[in-house]
Structure 1
Amino acid sequence: MIYQLIQQLINQAIATQLIEREDEIYARNQILSLLNLTDFKEMDTAESSHLDIPDLLDLIVDYACNQGIIEELFDEKEIFSSKIMNCFTARPSTINQLFYEKYKQDPKAATAYFYELSKNSNYIQMKRIRNNIEYKTATEYGELDITINLSKPEKDPRSIALERSVQKTDYPKCLLCVENEGYAGRIGHPARSNHRMIRVDLLDQPWYLQYSPYVYYNEHCIVLSEKHTDMVVSSTSFLRLLSFVEQFPHYFVGSNADLPIVGGSILTHDHYQGGNYQFAMAKAVDDWTFKIAGYSNVKCSVVKWPMSVIRLRSAEKAALVEAGSHIFDHWKNYSDETVGILARTGETPHNTVTPIARKNGDIFELDLVLRNNRTSDEHLLGIFHPHADVHHIKKENIGLIEVMGLAVLPARLKDELKEVEKYILGKSAEVAEYHLDWAETLKTRYQTVATEANVEGLVREEVGKKFSRVLEDAGVYKRDETGASGFRRFITSL
């Protein structure tokens, strides 16, 4: 059976163009070595069931566990699976050469090639990603994307205990370091044998393009610095973002904010996220427009969006960078106590931005989302952070992806929302305590219209409304008269 699985995997690798027919014996021998096999029996796979690469991998990894080659531990299985796929994955130099050959014809063709490679090599975990619950929900701000994240499997207690006991090492320094390319992995650090990166020149400095192993949208990429340096938002960041979309005009790219609470999950390595996807925020219309003296070739607007977004448009990168830097420098030192905005507490800064760049035809766009990370006795996790009444749906930081209109919600909601649905229908249900008030409100609202057929849709729509509220909480200028007046004061001060 193992010989048949190996041959099927090789056939799939050839079919997906990971390898050529001439590579078959070489790849086979590499896999035999990993499985401690010294011979191979030719198998007829014509009648065998058609399995995809991830399914074949799972069966081969199960064989390795049963034979005692590896332990039945999550990290060990991941490492072994990655090593198998590395037998089919070309070296970085070859992949980069092919990428740039395609790039000369069309940047879209280059990224499409690398994206398919990353999926076929099982670096992007498409089988697990398909477990996610994904849908769109209509709001006054457009259609928001909702994802209940079920793609990352939970580790078993043995794996967690082992992770705590192993000796710590700082190689690679973090999950985004270039040293992850081809790194086998270890307990507590993910397997990366089959991981490849594209070398990208940004402002005459080496940066790297890779895809997220758990993509949340089409061609969800990460652009990372060669150096392990802290996240920083600056005028150089704006120019680098615009330089990237100039090279890849079908992609957007943005940076998380560079302060805790409003920043991303990794602030120790300078990086951006981008991709071939149009979020609701990119489609959002202008709420109102304005001009800044000295920047006549830049069109400026405030976007109709729950968070506080300034959109700058120009055909000239340099003009956008100058205007964006003017706004950012002013915002970093701006306070308005009437709307709770303080630039700093002592020497601790609070104001920053989440910048996002894209290209529409010949016009560059730079969005600056105003952020502030102050906390208070009432809002211990952040004044401009999801407030306590929405924590039952979303409590985590609002990073770049959420800012643009995609909710990444915790896996617990999959089962919890089913209980809320039962409750609305008047069935016996075990509703989590933190959902009870919300569930009671929904039951009252929908008791005459909810049915078995539509209750899931009703609850999903309400989750979307909650996410819209989450974004409103994170907006520094609320979409009311007080907030609008405060926003206009800041714009006037520019």
Structure 2
Amino acid sequence: MIYAYITSLIKEGINKELITPVDRIYVRNRIMHLLGISSFPEDAPEAEETSIPELLEAIVDWAVSEHVIEDMLANKEILSANIMNCFVARPSVIQQQFKEKYSQSPVAATDYFYELSKNSNYIQMKRIQKNIHFKAESAYGDLDITINLSKPEKDPEQIRRERDIKQSGNYPKCVLCVENEGYNGRFGHPARANHRVIQIPLLGENWYLQYSPYMYYNEHSILLAEEHRDMKIDQATFRRLIAFTEQFPHYFIGSNADLPIVGGSILSHDHYQAGRYEFAMTNAASVMKTDLKEFPSVKAAILKWPLSVIRLNSANPEQLAEAGGHILNVWKNYSDMEANVLAYSEDTRHNTITPIARRRNNEFELDLVLRNNRTTEAYPMGIFHPHADKHHIKKENIGLIEVVGLAVLPARLKDELAELKKFLLDLPCNVASHHEAWALQLKATYGSMKDPATVDAIVEKELGIKFASVLEDAGVFKQTDAGIVAFQRFINAVNS
């Protein structure tokens, strides 16, 4: 069957326009070399599997069964990426294609690169389809809930063996570095042979656009700095984000905060996340509109959102970035102990911003989400971090994706929620101890139920309520009368 799998994979590569029929023999020979095959029958059949991910999986399984590679995830990922690299053009060709498409429209350019990234199996579409995703109503709009099941699982023996032979090294310095383009991979660093990036000049620097291999939303992309340098939020950040929306007006773009606890998982490499999706925060209403005295061409408003957001709009991108820089500088040094906000503990800074930029109605829009990472004995993981009563659902950092209204929840919840649903249906179950209080609360609220569809709907609704509450914990100025008054005090400081 290996010949059938290879024949069908090449056919799919032609169908997806990764290669042309002229490339067929060349690609076949390169794949044969990777698999240690020395000859190929002229009348090889086609396989029943028709998608590229399914055919790749079948080829890799064959390679394991024939002892071409060891049965370890890293080896399988490296082989899979190298096989698909036979179908992907060199970076210069892809860059030129992107440029030609961009001359038609920015949408045509990103559509081309997005399809290439999916068809080359760099974006792991088959794995992503395993994720559980739904929308949940909240007081802030329809929140997106995702239970992340796309990361491949390893059995304990594989984990032990890979740990024993894990290879260390400082090249590439991290998984975001531009040097990952075409990198073979090793134990401890992902395979990137089929990975390509697009150079995007921004304000005199080279940045690089790629798509996330495990997307959480439509066209989930990453814009990374050429230089391996720490994350930093400053006025230059705002100028870059706005400049990106000038080049790609159909994409939003945002940055994780640059401090621990309120930042994302990778603070060692300056990068942003972009995409083509409307989150609940995109359409959040205004609680209060306000003027910025020094920036008359910029409109400002406080949003009705569980985190503390100032939305700025202007047709003038420079004024918008300057206004954002001014607000950031005031916030970095702002303390309000009545609101539990302290700018510094000795030399340790606590205040920063999570920014998001987009185009709206021919104007530029910049959302500034105020963040504070201070901890106390009562809140050792952070005052403005998910509190302990929500840790059974979410205890990880609230990064950019969660900030805008998309919950990325751990895979354990799939099985744990199944047991919770059995409990609500009065069936034999094993509810995890950390869910017991929540399970009893739901039973007291809704009583015993017999309809599984009703239980599914209730659990989804309650997960949305939990996630909204998680975001409220992360909000510096709460959506209460006292919180809005405290928010107004900060606006007064911005205008003073």
Same fold (TM over 0.5): yes
1:218-233 matches, cutoff 5 A: 218-233=218-233
Aligned-pair distance for 1:425?
1.3
Counterpart in the other structure of 1:393: 393
Cα distance in 2, alignment partners of residues 156 and 428 from structure 1? 28
Q: CA deviation at 1:159?
A: 3.4
Aligned match of 2:202: 202
What is the distance in 1 between the residues matched to 2:405 and 2:310?
16
Q: Which region of structure 1 is more displaced relative to structure 2, 36-45 or 200-209? A: 36-45
Cα drift, residue 450 of structure 1: 5.6
Aligned to 1:417: 417
Q: What is the 5 A alignment of 1:371-410? A: 371-410=371-410
The structural deviation recorded for 1:50 is 4.2
- 1:235-282 deviations in Å (ceiling 9; x for gaps): 000000000011000000000000000000000000000101111101
Report the CA distance between 1:157 and its aligned residue: 2.6
- 1:210 is paired with a residue whose SS is strand
The alignment of Structure 1 onto Structure 2 pairs a total of residues equal to: 493
Query: Which residue of structure 2 aligns with residue 435 of structure 1?
Result: 435
State the SS of the aligned residue for 1:389: helix
- CA-based RMSD: 1.0
**1:444-468 deviation per Cα after TM superposition (whole angstroms, max 9, x unaligned):** 1112556222111110110010000
Matches of residues 335-484 of structure 1 in structure 2 within 5 Å?
A: 335-447=335-447, 451-484=451-484
8 Å contact kept, 2:306–2:475: yes
Which residue does the alignment assign to 2:60? 61
- Please tell me the residue identity of whatever aligns with 1:110: A
CA distance in 2, matches of 1:492, 1:357: 24
> For residue 322 of structure 1, what is the aligned residue in structure 2?
322
Question: Is residue 241–residue 253 contact of structure 1 (8 Å, CA) maintained in 2?
Answer: yes
Deviation at 1:61, TM superposition (A): 0.5
CA distance in 2, matches of 1:167, 1:121: 26
| Paired AA for residue 8 in structure 1 | S
Query: 1:94-130: per-residue Cα shift (whole Å, max 9, x none)?
Result: 0110011000101011101100100000000000000
Match in the other structure for 2:51: 52
Kept in 2, the 8 Å contact 1:162–1:187? The answer is: no
Aligned-partner Cα distance in 2 for 1:338–1:145: 33
Give the 5 Å matches for 1:276-315: 276-315=276-315
Please list, as runs of the form range in 1=range in 2, the aligned pairs for 1:33-182 lying within 5 A after superposition. 33-43=33-43, 45=45, 48-165=47-164, 166-182=166-182
- Where in structure 1 are there 5+ consecutive unaligned residues? none
Q: 2 CA distance for matches of 1:397 and 1:484? A: 24
Aligned-partner SS, 1:139: coil
In the superposition, the TM-score normalised over structure 2's length comes to 0.98
SS of the residue corresponding to residue 452 of structure 2 reads coil
CA deviation string 1:7-28 (max 9, x = no partner)? 0000000000010111000000
| Contact 1:263-1:399 at 8 Å conserved across structures | yes
Secondary structure of the residue aligned to 1:369 is strand
- Give 2:412's aligned amino acid: R
Counterpart contact for 1:234–1:325, Cα < 8 Å: yes
How far apart, in 1, do the equivalents of 2:445 and 2:189 lie? 47
What is the identity, as a one-letter code, of the residue corresponding to 2:160? Answer: A
Partner of 1:271: 271
Deviation at 1:186, TM superposition (A): 0.5
Asked if structure 2 preserves the Cα contact closer than 8 Å seen for 1:57 and 1:81, the reply is yes
Q: Is the 8 A contact 2:424 2:448 kept in 1?
A: no
The separation in 2 between residues aligned to 1:7 and 1:167, in whole angstroms, is: 34
Q: Measure the CA separation in 2 of the matches of 1:45 and 1:200.
A: 43
User: Could you report, residue by residue, the CA deviation over 1:466-494 in whole angstroms, capped at 9, with x for unpaired residues?
Assistant: 00000000000011122111101101111
1:12-51 correspondence runs (5 A): 12-43=12-43, 45=45, 48-51=47-50
Give the Cα–Cα distance (whole angstroms) in 1 for the partners of residues 448 and 425 of structure 2: 9
Q: Percent identity?
A: 58
**Cα distance between partner residues in 1 of 2:86 and 2:248:** 30
